[in-house]
Amino acid sequence: MNRFVISVYVDNQIGVLTRVTSLFTRRGFNIDTLTVGETERSEYSRITITMAGDCYARDQLINQLKKQVNVKKVEILEEDATKRELMLIKVHNASENRSDIMTAVDVFRASVIDYSPTAMCIEVTGNPSKIDAFVKLMQPFGILEMCRTGIVALDRGEQTLFSK
């Protein structure tokens, strides 16, 4: 099983996301992460999907996505593409752990975005392995809550989705 990042350029219209994601459901595939946002042109959105599967499953989904009316372009992003994720994580802020938590925040180039006597909310951005490492480091301090955006990705250099 390989992990794939699929970039889908679609019309920015009601119901398009539902049609794209239901395609995965009908085929019995799980979406690991899903991010959607407006592009440089407001009439289009970019959907970034991360999934696990074999090459046959990947190719089958790509072909099915390309047949969708509102889908303008579909590409598998290469392994060297720039990938980032955002996570907000709230940890227990005990006075004896505060300096260790702040050291980790500095090392990971994270930011404390909310601070109280009992909890600290931290923002971390980076590649998914960096996010995973930060979560693992925070577990001993007591994770109260966390949420992750999922991967957003672009090809490196001047290459764009439409120049391929």
The pLDDT, as a whole number, for residue 37 is 93
Answer whether residue 161 is part of any domain: no
Q: Does residue 121 share a domain with residue 64?
A: no
Answer whether residue 162 is part of any domain: no
Answer whether residue 158 is part of any domain: no
Range of 19's domain? 2-76
Q: What is the mean pLDDT of residues 127-144?
A: 95
The pLDDT, as a whole number, for residue 1 is 72
Spell 54-75 as b/e; 16+ CB within 10 A means b: eeebbeebeebbeebebbebbb
Q: Does residue 88 share a domain with residue 71?
A: no
Of 95 and 103, which is predicted with more confidence? 103
What percent of the chain is modeled with pLDDT above 70? 99
Task: Say if pTM beats, i.e. exceeds, 0.75.
Answer: yes
* pLDDT over threshold 90, residue 65: yes
Answer whether residue 110 is part of any domain: yes
Q: Does residue 66 share a domain with residue 12?
A: yes
Eight-class DSSP state of 8: E
The pLDDT, as a whole number, for residue 93 is 84
Q: Does residue 111 share a domain with residue 72?
A: no
